[in-house]
Structure formats: C-alpha cells, structure tokens
Chains A and B, each alone.
Chain A
Amino acid sequence: MSPQVIERVIQVIAKTQHIPPESVTIDKTFEDLKIDSLDGMNILFAVESEFDISIPDDRAPSIRSVREMVEGIEALLAAKATAPSASRNP
C-alpha cells in the first residue's frame, strides 16, 4: 500500500467525519471510528473526488475499514492506469 494513498484517505475520512487525523489509522474499522452507513456514503463521495475514480455500487458495502478502503482505491487506480484512454479510440 502506498503511504501517499493511505495519508490522503486518512485526511478525507478525518475531514468528512470532523475528527482529528491522528485518530484515523490503517488498522481502524469503520465501527471503531463510529462511521455509520450514511457517513460511509459521504466518505465514498469524498474519496471519489479526491482520487478521480468511480466506486461501483457493488463494491461499496464491502468496504468496512480504512485498510479495505485503501486497497479498493489502489485497485481502482491501477485499473484506471492500464485502461485504454477514450481519446485513443477512433
């Protein structure tokens, strides 16, 4: 996991939840951080903006910890990097 991605995710969660960034660490679950389902949607929305990605609806419910979020984002960033750019299409 990239330390930069971890740090950006921590900042997004802290800002969205109005909690200190120090309280958010890679090992915390959403339950630890008192993030409920509505908070989770807000965080996904903020993360999509932060990384310019789109998190599919079927992936969202399985993200229940900071680690799962970082891993999910990295997978989406990797897929984005290898996907053919629309501009190359005729």
Chain B
Amino acid sequence: MTRRVAVTGIGVIAAPGRTRPEFWDALVRGESAIRPMRLVPEGSLRFSNAAEVSSYRPQDFFEGKDADMLDRFAQFAVVAAREAVADAGVKITPELSARVGIVTGTSTGGQTSEDDQFRALYADGRSRIHPLTIARTMANAGSSAIAREWGIKGPSYTISTACSSANHAIGHAFWMVRSGAVEMAIAGGAEAPFSLGFLKAWEAMRIVAPDTCRPFSKDRKGLILGEGAAMLVLEPLAHARARGARVWGEIAGFGMSSDAHHLTQPLAEGAAMAMRSALRDAGDAPLEAVGYINAHGTGTLANDATETVAIREVFGAHAAKLMVSSTKSMHGHALGAAGALEAAATLMALHEAVLPPTANYSEADPACDLDVIPNVARHGMEVEWALSNSFAFGGLNAVLAFRRP
C-alpha cells in the first residue's frame, strides 16, 4: 500500500511567533527574531545574540504540576502539537488513538534541566538531584507528553540526529502514513538549548556569529542558536480530502544519507545524495518542477558554500532558476527543531505562494551563487515542488520533498 500523504495541521512556537500565523507573518515580513540573549547571564559568552522564545511562561500553557513535569523543550513540543491538532480539525477518538503515531526530533533533549541540577550538585554543594530530572531530561519526553495529552497509543518515539533530527522524525512519520502502518501521525521537532553549559560548548566550537545570522552572505560569521518547536499532522491525502480538511501541502519524498567523512565538516556529496534520494522517493520528481529549497543555510562559512555546491550538483542548469532561502536568518538554528520549523515554513510557502527570504543578507558571495531571495519575500510564486534540507554534525543528512496541494 502506497498512499499520498497530506499535512493538514501545523503548529509552531519559536522566536518569530508563538503560533503558526504569527511565525509565518514574521517570515513573510523578512523580520529576524535574533535579539540579545536573556536566558543566560549577560557577558558570560563571546556571543550575545540568539533567537529565544521571549517571555515564555509555562503557566500560560500548563496547569499546576504539569509544568514541573516537563522541561522547556518538551513543553514546546506539546504547545506546538496542540496547535497542529486543532489546526487539522481532527478528533483523536479512542478508536483512532491506536492508529496514530508520534515521531519527534530533538538534538539535546532536556539538557537545561540537567544543567540546572548538575550545577546544584557540582557548584552549589547540594548532594541530591531532583527526582524528575531523568524524566525531564529524556529525549523522548516530548513524544511521551504528546501521547499522554491525547491518549495516543500507536507507535511513539524520538529521533536524535543533531541538526537533522526533525527532518528524520517527519520523514519516518511520513513513511509510516504512506505505508499504512498508521492512519495519522504527529511529527516534528523541539529544542531548548539555552543553558550556560551547553552554550559554552557552542562557544568553544567558534562557529556562533558575534552579530547575526547572514546565510549565503559574503560577510557571514556563523550560526545563531534558536529554540522552539513545530509539529505537523500527517494523514493520507484521500482521507483529508474525504473529510474536507484544509491541506497545507503534501509530503512526497524523504531522503537520507551519511557522509561517513568528518565529524563536523560538511560534504557536498552526502548532501547531494540526500536530495537525490528525496526526489527519487517522491516518485522521481522532475528536477525542473522544483522551484524552492528551504536550505539548511546555517550561516557558517563551510555549510553555505558546500550546500551551494551540492544544490548545483543535483540540479545542474536548473539551479540557476531555483529560489533558495534560509529562514534560519529569522528563527535561528533551533538544532533538533530546525527541520520542523523549516517544514512549516516550506508548507506555508507552497500553500500561500509566498517564498520567505534570507534575512540579514548584505553581500553576494561567489561561493554561494544561487538566488537566495535576499531580504524580501517573493509573492505570487506558485511553486509545484520544494525541498527542505537538514545536514547534521556527524555527517547525517535528511531531506524532505514537499508538493503544492
């Protein structure tokens, strides 16, 4: 059984917006949500800007002890899933609940909870760790919380492949729906990376920009970290049509590859292989029908140049006609949530016929000679096919192919 798979629900909480409409409006305006960091003490790091979900208060979303049970990242997962399920207009009945799957992505899970408790142990002289630390820290806390929220009893799990986590998660959920293993899936990614310990580790890698994220721009100085979550509701296209649901777009293909090369240096060959694999999985989608790529586009020197080479390798002469943007310039690099935020952006782009820009772009780089939609969104762009790229440390690549509804 092979079925076409529709996305009927999208939920987002991220720096540009706490809901999908807020998020999308900010992206269309080309508005970067990168600001001075507030979640860690000022002056404690060599970089000072990030894309935080500002003034987030758990009690706005969770009652009583429910908030104590969940790390910030898992709360984001639930908040985004609630919006996605409401957006899809589905009722998860007891009959349906055993046929719904959940696949979430996260890179670092509940590490802010761990950082907090370990600091108390090592630095503050406390001898005990809070009993919820294991449950708050586990990477699957998001998928488990979503399952409890609606009593979902089908397959529920979490994929952790650093910056490709959400694409791997959405891709696997897509395959489960396509094959008939489940009738519906909630999939996406969630991340909350802002603890001092974790940020110090990023600082040591010397790839975080001191200013802002300028993907594909010659003066780019690195990535900017972000946080948040996005969740999608996936179901067979035929079911979505039958119940009169709004279809944001189709997920039509998923491709993966491993560089088997360097721990942190990207490899164009691996990225190209994942893009080709996604197009092949989509029934050999014609290259010329692909009009937009939501790039991995981290804003590091290495990624953006390598990704440009990979796109040229895959698309040949058609690369000159492709429109490519990195929305990380606006929502930051949300690591294990990145692919999910970008899937949301790509689906909205196809549905609304508006391509979000690469914000903060200032200067052309010959090494990134693609049409990167500098600074201003393109309206009236009816694109048939789009790709969304994620390439992770460890050389793990995951690409999703989307199709206009």
A binds B: yes
Q: Is the interface of B mostly helix, strand, loop or mixed?
A: loop
Closest residue of chain B to A19 (Cβ to Cβ) is B64
Query: B residues within 8 A CB of A48?
Result: 128
A residues 1-60 with Cβ under 8 Å of B? 16-19, 38-39, 41-42, 44-45, 48-49
Q: Contact at B131–A45, with CB atoms within 8 Å?
A: yes
Interface size class of B (residues with CB under 8 A): under 10
Q: How far, in Å, is A71 (CB) from chain B's closest CB? A: 22
Closest residue of chain B to A17 (Cβ to Cβ) is B65
How many residues on A have C-beta within 8 angstroms of the other chain's C-beta atoms? Answer: 12
Query: B residues within 8 A CB of A39?
Result: 65
Closest residue of chain B to A45 (Cβ to Cβ) is B131
Q: Contact at B68–A42, with CB atoms within 8 Å?
A: yes
Q: Contact at A41–B64, with CB atoms within 8 Å?
A: no
Query: A residues within 8 A CB of B63?
Result: 18
Q: Complex: how many Å from CA A44 to CA B135?
A: 17
Over the window 54-72 of chain A, the binary record of Cβ atoms lying under 8 Å from chain B Cβ atoms (1 yes, 0 no) is 0000000000000000000
Most A-side CB within 10 Å, residue of B68, B130, B131: B131
Contact of B132 among A17, A19, A42 (CB under 8 A): A42
Closest residue of chain A to B59 (Cβ to Cβ) is A18
Query: B residues within 8 A CB of A19?
Result: 64
Closest residue of chain A to B127 (Cβ to Cβ) is A54
Q: Complex: how many Å from CA A17 to CA B63?
A: 11
User: How many CB-defined contacts (below 8 Å) exist between A and B?
Assistant: 25
Q: Complex: how many Å from CA A42 to CA B132?
A: 7
Closest residue of chain A to B65 (Cβ to Cβ) is A18
Q: How far, in Å, is A55 (CB) from chain B's closest CB? A: 11
Query: A residues within 8 A CB of B65?
Result: 16-18, 39, 42
B residues 41-77 with Cβ under 8 Å of A? 63-65, 68
Q: Complex: how many Å from CA A29 to CA B128?
A: 26
Q: Complex: how many Å from CA A41 to CA B64?
A: 17
Q: How far, in Å, is A12 (CB) from chain B's closest CB? A: 13
Over the window 124-142 of chain B, the binary record of Cβ atoms lying under 8 Å from chain A Cβ atoms (1 yes, 0 no) is 0000101110010000000
Query: A residues within 8 A CB of B135?
Result: 38
Q: Contact at B131–A41, with CB atoms within 8 Å?
A: yes
Closest residue of chain B to A40 (Cβ to Cβ) is B131
Over the window 112-133 of chain B, the binary record of Cβ atoms lying under 8 Å from chain A Cβ atoms (1 yes, 0 no) is 0000000000000000101110
Closest residue of chain B to A39 (Cβ to Cβ) is B65
Q: Contact at B131–A42, with CB atoms within 8 Å?
A: yes
Q: How far, in Å, is A75 (CB) from chain B's closest CB? A: 20
Contact of A18 among B64, B130, B132 (CB under 8 A): B64
Q: Contact at A45–B64, with CB atoms within 8 Å?
A: no
Q: Complex: how many Å from CA A18 to CA B128?
A: 22
Q: Complex: how many Å from CA A18 to CA B59?
A: 12
Closest residue of chain A to B126 (Cβ to Cβ) is A49
Q: Complex: how many Å from CA A76 to CA B191?
A: 42
Q: Complex: how many Å from CA A19 to CA B65?
A: 9
Query: A residues within 8 A CB of B68?
Result: 18, 42
Over the window 252-291 of chain B, the binary record of Cβ atoms lying under 8 Å from chain A Cβ atoms (1 yes, 0 no) is 0000000000000000000000000000000000000000
Q: How far, in Å, is A41 (CB) from chain B's closest CB? A: 4
Q: Complex: how many Å from CA A39 to CA B132?
A: 9
Q: Complex: how many Å from CA A16 to CA B131?
A: 12
Query: B residues within 8 A CB of A17?
Result: 64-65
Q: How far, in Å, is A37 (CB) from chain B's closest CB? A: 10
Instruction: Other than A17-B65, A42-B65, A45-B128, give 7 A-B pairs with Cβ distance below 8 A.
Output: A18-B63, A18-B64, A18-B65, A38-B132, A38-B135, A39-B65, A45-B130
9 A-B pairs in the complex with CB atoms less than 8 angstroms apart: A16-B65, A17-B64, A17-B65, A18-B65, A38-B135, A41-B132, A42-B68, A42-B132, A44-B131
Residues of chain B at the chain A interface (Cβ within 8 Å) = 63-65, 68, 128, 130-132, 135
